[in-house]
């Protein structure tokens, strides 16, 4: 079974985030399935195992860990008493999780994210933040891994140009409390990249299309609160960069999208 790495209870928005580890699996089809992954897959309901049955083991590992994180987050948020009470979590045509009927009122108040070694899930049940009885609000979360070394300012320049507008690139410098060294510059780029990924998950239920990185803008305050500009004037969106004290290499973000 995968381990729970962190549980965050968000003061802003009433959300709960759970991070878990992903079983280590070699890349490629036909690779051996390690015992840790076999054990994790065995905990999934049959419908979930069927979804990932033909996938490569590495993709199965992130899928199963993400589902496990969401179950734990639903427990931590007080939605269900234990993970067995959740039931099978489906997958829609856009790849988003679909909660079973008895939890359908939270369908847009949950989000899953994963990398090769870490998976996470967000659940928001605070009615003051997300009115889950209507289809005007949705949330998203994203995590990225920031290696301690291996990426300097030059190597991050390509990613920065792909995901940030010229205005946002200049804002990296203008908004900084002090001159950015390579480490802080890399982190700043990853935070904005991650926020836009989280925003995409919140927007997708409404727009159901790919939203390019340069279609949206993001500004981050010193306290980690984020404000987005989105292509459709009918939406407002906010976000947050979260701190995981025990996992300094994790960049974790959330987004909340409201229509109308």
Annotated domain spans of the chain: 4-132, 145-259
| 243/251 Cα distance (integer angstroms) | 8
Strand (E) or helix (H) holding 139: strand 137-145
Per CATH, is 4-132 categorized as 3.90.470.20?
yes
Predicted TM-score (pTM) above 0.75: yes
Instruction: Transcribe 72-91 into DSSP letters.
Output: HHHHHTTSSSSGGGT---EE
Query: Residue 82 pLDDT > 60, yes or no?
Result: yes
User: Does residue 230 contact residue 237 with C-beta atoms inside 8 Å?
Assistant: yes
Bigger pLDDT: 218 vs 155: 218
Confidence of residue 20 (pLDDT cuts 50, 70, 90): very high
Q: Which of 128, 134, 113 minimizes the C-alpha distance to 201?
A: 113
Confidence of residue 128 (pLDDT cuts 50, 70, 90): very low
Confidence of residue 1 (pLDDT cuts 50, 70, 90): low
| Of 24-33, 34-43, 185-194, minimum mean pLDDT range | 24-33
With a pLDDT cut of 90, the percent of the chain lying above it is: 72
236 bridge partner residues = 258
Q: Do the first three CATH levels of 4-132 and 145-259 match, i.e. the same topology? A: yes
Going edge to edge, which strands form the sheet with 235-242? 137-145, 250-259, 235-242, 225-229, 217-220
| Of 34-48, 83-97, 124-138, minimum mean pLDDT range | 124-138
| Of 21-30, 83-92, 109-118, 161-170, minimum mean pLDDT range | 21-30
Question: Which CATH superfamily hosts domain 145-259?
Answer: 4'-phosphopantetheinyl transferase domain (3.90.470.20)
117, 51, 96, 224: CA torsion to nearest 10: -10
DSSP 8-state class, residue 237:
E
DSSP 8-state class, residue 243:
P
Q: Which of 251, 29, 224 minimizes the C-alpha distance to 118?
A: 251
128 bridge partner residues = none
| 244/260 Cα distance (integer angstroms) | 33
């Amino acid at each position: 079974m995968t381990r729970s790495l962190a549980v965050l209870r968000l003061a802003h928005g009433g959300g709960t985030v759970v991070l878990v580890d992903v079983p280590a699996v070699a890349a490629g089809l036909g690779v051996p399935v390690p015992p840790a992954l076999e054990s994790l897959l065995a905990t999934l309901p049959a419908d979930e195992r069927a979804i990932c049955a033909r996938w490569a083991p590495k993709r199965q590992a992130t899928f199963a860990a993400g589902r496990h994180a969401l179950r734990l987050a639903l427990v931590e948020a007080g939605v269900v008493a234990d993970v067995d009470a959740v039931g099978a979590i489906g997958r829609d045509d856009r790849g988003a999780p679909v909660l079973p009927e008895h939890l359908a009122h939270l369908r847009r108040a949950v989000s899953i994210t994963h990398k090769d070694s870490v998976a996470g899930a967000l659940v928001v049940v605070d009615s003051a933040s997300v009115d889950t009885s209507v289809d005007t609000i949705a949330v998203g979360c994203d995590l990225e891994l920031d290696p301690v070394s291996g990426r300097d300012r030059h190597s991050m320049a390509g990613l920065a140009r792909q995901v940030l507008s010229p205005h946002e690139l200049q804002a990296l410098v203008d908004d900084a409390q002090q001159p950015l060294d390579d480490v802080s510059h890399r982190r700043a780029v990853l935070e904005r990249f991650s926020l836009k990924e989280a925003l995409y998950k919140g927007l997708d239920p409404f727009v159901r299309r790919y939203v390019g990185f340069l279609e949206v803008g993001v500004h981050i305050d010193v306290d980690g609160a984020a404000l987005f500009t989105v292509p459709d004037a009918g939406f407002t969106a906010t976000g947050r960069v979260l701190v995981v004290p025990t996992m300094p290499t994790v960049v974790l973000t959330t987004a909340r999208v409201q229509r109308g």
